[in-house]
Chain A
């Protein structure tokens, strides 16, 4: 079983603060995906990173894939209340056909207080 450790599990901050969420594993993934989920809805894809060392930016969000493709981070600058939600990282491993799976981290429940 491939384990993807996500931390912190809970994070409550004030508007305007910065934060970083980490996902770490001892396994190599072919891709790492970050999702954001609001209560009662499905996860919404934020980004997919596939190359070791890759950095992607999405407005105030910066995603990084580790050089060895075993870890990733999500950094949010100047958090806003609208960023509140459950953030999920998921590592993909494609062995071909039905063996492809996403391994999810436990999630980070972020609350940004006004």
Chain B
């Protein structure tokens, strides 16, 4: 159990376009989902915490208007990178937490390349 999926797994887009990444908890309801960014051979950097039905909480230095997060249901959160630029190229990973539990379960990640 505790499977989290992400879609797409890879995306290449032109500079200036927007890209939406979906994160789904497949076999449990996730009260909280998290979005991370990871650079090659580095650790995970938390971008924002998303609670179902409420606004996301962004970490310091993360632009809310650039990284739009929507958590419309207990099994789906989306991250939209608006007006993407080459410096937004990265590995984006989501995780989901079942309410009351300590553990986060991670998705397989989405590789974004902005040309």
Q: Which residues of B contact A100 (CB under 8 A)?
A: 32, 49, 97
Q: Give chain B's interface secondary structure class.
A: strand
B 74-115 binary contact with A (CB < 8 Å = 1; else 0): 000000000000000001010101000011111111010000
Contacts A88-B44, A104-B43, A107-B43 hold; do A94 and B109 have CB atoms under 8 A apart? no
Q: Which residues of A contact B41 (CB under 8 A)?
A: 86, 107, 109
Are A33 and B102 in contact, with the CB atoms below 8 A?
Answer: yes
Q: Which of A11-19, A34-42, A54-62, A76-84 contacts B (4 or more CB under 8 A)?
A: A34-42
Give the interface residue-count category, chain B: 20 to 34
| B residues whose Cβ falls under 8 Å from a Cβ of A | 4, 6, 32, 34, 41-44, 46, 49, 51, 54, 57, 91, 93, 95, 97, 102-109, 111
Contacts A100-B97, A101-B49 hold; do A44 and B106 have CB atoms under 8 A apart? yes
Are B51 and A97 in contact, with the CB atoms below 8 A?
Answer: yes
The contact of B102 among A43, A48, A107, by CB within 8 Å, is A48
- What are 25 A-B pairs at a CB distance below 8 A? A30-B102, A31-B103, A41-B108, A41-B109, A42-B4, A42-B93, A42-B108, A43-B44, A43-B93, A44-B106, A48-B102, A88-B44, A90-B104, A94-B102, A98-B49, A98-B51, A101-B46, A102-B46, A102-B104, A104-B43, A104-B46, A106-B42, A106-B43, A107-B42, A109-B41
